[in-house]
Amino acid sequence: MARRPPRTLTELAIGVVGAILTTAIMYFGATHILKRMHQQTQESLAKIQQGIIAKQPQAKAPSSPQAPDPYTAQVSQAAAVAKQRHNEAWGVYYKPKQGCDNWKSDAHMVECVNHKMRAKDEFERKWAAGDFDTPKAD
pLDDT of 2 higher than 80? no
* pLDDT for 138: 42
User: Is 93 buried (19+), middle (13-18) or exposed (0-12) by CB count in 10 A?
Assistant: middle
Q: Are 116 and 96 in contact (CB under 8 A)?
A: yes
Between residues 10 and 1, the one the model is more confident about: 10
Sign of torsion over alpha carbons 98, 104, 106, 107 = negative
For the segment 24-41, what is each residue's pLDDT rounded down to a tens digit? 999 999 999 999 998 999
Work out the angle at residue 58's Cα, subtended by the Cα atoms of residues 54 and 64, and round it to the nearest 5 degrees.
175
137 pLDDT band, cuts 50/70/90, is: very low
Between residues 1 and 115, the one the model is more confident about: 115
Longest pairwise C-alpha distance within the chain? 97
* pLDDT for 45: 86
Domain ranges of the chain: 9-52, 71-129
